[in-house]
Amino acid sequence: MRAVIQRVSRASVTVDGTVTGEIGPGMLILICAMQGDDEAKADQMAAKIAKLRIFKDEAGKMNKSIRDIGGSALIVSQFTLAADLRGNRPGFSTAAAPADGDRLYQHFTKAIAAEGIPTANGIFGADMDVSLNNDGPVTIWMDM
């Protein structure tokens, strides 16, 4: 699985003019299931993200996790993270097939929630408008 994690002060996703998910302080997680990924990999990534210390402590150091600050996660499917850029037009053949991608996206969301993190979502496969205030900015790329 592949993810881009952004520390945010707020984030939301809108589909067809309707807000489908929004959060205050926490993480915007753009997630992509890759070919060969499974539920175990989604669980592993969720556990790692839940422990990721990217939030400031009292001294201003990145030393707290999303759980430590009581933050939320906005989780948005993003198959374009699988882009192969060898040419001028990106290829996405390494992304999981849509049915597998949707299944793993849903599983990942449940795994994050099982870590005690409130979640909000976009809609798999939809044309989404994502809005965020990147805090820091802190943006991290993760492959598992």
Kindly write down the DSSP assignment for every residue of 50-110, as one continuous string.
Answer: HH---EE-TTSSEEE-HHHHT-EEEEEE-GGGG-B-SSSS-B-TTBPPHHHHHHHHHHHHH
Nearest to 34 by CA among 79, 87, 84: 79
35 flagged as catalytic: no
Token code pair at residue 42: 């989604």
Q: Which candidate in 6, 20, 55, 79 is catalytic?
A: 79
CB atoms within 10 A of CB 6: 22
User: Catalytic: 78?
Assistant: yes
Question: What count of other Cβ atoms lies within 10 Å of the Cβ of residue 44?
Answer: 14
* Residue 79 known to be catalytic: yes
Residue of 6, 20, 55, 78 marked catalytic: 78
Tokens of 85: 């850029």
User: Which phi-psi region, left, alpha or beta, contains residue 66 (left: φ > 0; alpha: ψ -120 to 50)?
Assistant: alpha
- Residues acting as catalytic residues: 78-80
